[in-house]
Structure 1
Amino acid sequence: MKNVYPLILLLILSLLGACKKAEYTSELFKSKEIYIAFKASTGNNYKYVVATSSWTGYSSATTLTIKDGKVVGRAYISKMLVNNVVKVDKEWIEDAATLGSHTEGAALRNLDDVYEIARKEWLKKRDDADVYFEAKNDGMISSAGYVNKGCQDDCFNGISISAIAKL
């Protein structure tokens, strides 16, 4: 009986630790369920836009095209503010044959990958950071990530998705 108490204590501590592994777990789960239904309704054919922005006036948008669950296209545009006028800085399109040929832009991921990275990395509870999650794309993921405490400018680590649409 003596040996049972340390095991029970270990089990309780591991369960408490599991509760602190990720933030927004239930919201992420609900959002993923909505995404799974969307994916089924589109035959796993959709596109989504990853957006970035900076306090300096720089912004970018990467549109990823997914067919049968695989990334088959990527389009990128970046803009910057010059003398209060927004100007296109770079713009390109990759097709299936040229995927990954540019260094700029969002990573070649489908939304299954995005949800998995959000769960494992971006939404982990962190003592040194604030964690954020939003599902403003008809209930699907729109923002997941963290900002280190004390960081002043352009500190978001994660993903911002401005649109998700069927093909």
Structure 2
Amino acid sequence: MKKLLYIVAFVLIFSCESNDDTPENQLSALTTLESQDGLSYTESIDAWNALKTNNGTSYTYQTTVVSFTGFGSITELTISNNVVTSRIYQEFSTDQMTGERDIIDSFTETGSQLGTHPKGATPLTIDQLYTTCAADYLIVDETENTLYFQTATNGLMTLCGFFPNNCADDCFEGITISAFDWVN
């Protein structure tokens, strides 16, 4: 339940106006979906493309998953010239009394090792995350799921996914970007 409250506190619930599930209508509906900052999915992609034009295509980002039970993980991906070059994973347990995190598993992947461990976020670029967001998460049945989309103040997508309506804890399916930085 804490996870649900956390998500609700930081995202805006949105809905598509059309019940027509054709790919054309789904794509059209994405232009009207808005984050709490007022940017639609399409405007967020436009903002991302402008950011790349100004800053290049080399960056790092992190995804963080935390359970109400105190277990969680952080995956950091490094992208150089629009190619994933490394993935660093840490799994942790949080002491409920002190809040301290104990690392219980970790790995680093580079080169041909990328994606060989089953844990952690899939090694994708931000461009690929936008595609995944639209193709896998924002198309679910809204009568059975609550959809989420959020951007940072610069327009970058930070959350995209859904929460099944009849689920109590740890049910969010989607993308979270918890940290982002450009690499010079």
Q: TM-score scaled to structure 2, two decimals?
A: 0.75
Task: Check 1:83–1:166 CA distance in 2 against 1; reply closer, same or farther (3 A cut).
Answer: closer
Q: After the TM superposition, which residues 93-108 of structure 1 pair with which residues of structure 2 at under 5 Å, given as runs?
A: 93-108=108-123
- SS across alignment from 2:26: coil
Match of 1:86 in 2: 101
Question: TM-score, normalization: structure 1?
Answer: 0.82
Structure 1 pair 147/83, CA: closer, same or farther in 2 (3 Å)? closer
Query: 1:162, CA displacement in angstroms?
Result: 0.6
Residue 176 (structure 2) aligned to one of 154, 157, 160: 160
8 Å contact 1:137–1:164 — kept in the other structure?
no
In the other structure, the counterpart of 2:71 is: 58
In the other structure, the counterpart of 1:129 is 145
Aligned to 2:54: 41
| Inter-partner Cα distance in structure 1 for 2:56 and 2:111 | 19
What is the root-mean-square deviation in Å for CA atoms of aligned residues?
2.1
Aligned equivalents of 2:172, 2:74: Cα separation in 1: 16
Q: CA deviation at 1:121?
A: 1.8
The 1-side partners of 2:145 and 2:157 are apart by 20
Q: 1:25 aligns with which of 2, 26, 31?
A: 31
Runs of at least 5 residues in structure 1 that lack an aligned partner in the other structure:
1-14
Shift of residue 39, structure 1, vs aligned partner: 1.7
Change in Cα spacing, 1:28 to 1:67, as seen in structure 2 (3 Å) is same
**Equivalent residue number for residue 12 of structure 1:** none
Q: Which has the larger radius of gyration?
A: 1
Q: State, as a whole percentage, how many aligned pairs show the same letter.
A: 27
Contact 1:73–1:99 (8 Å) recurs in 2: yes
- The CA distance in 2 between the partners of 1:147 and 1:132, in whole Å, is 8
> 2: CA distance between counterparts of 1:137 and 1:71?
25
- CA apart distance, 1:131: 0.2
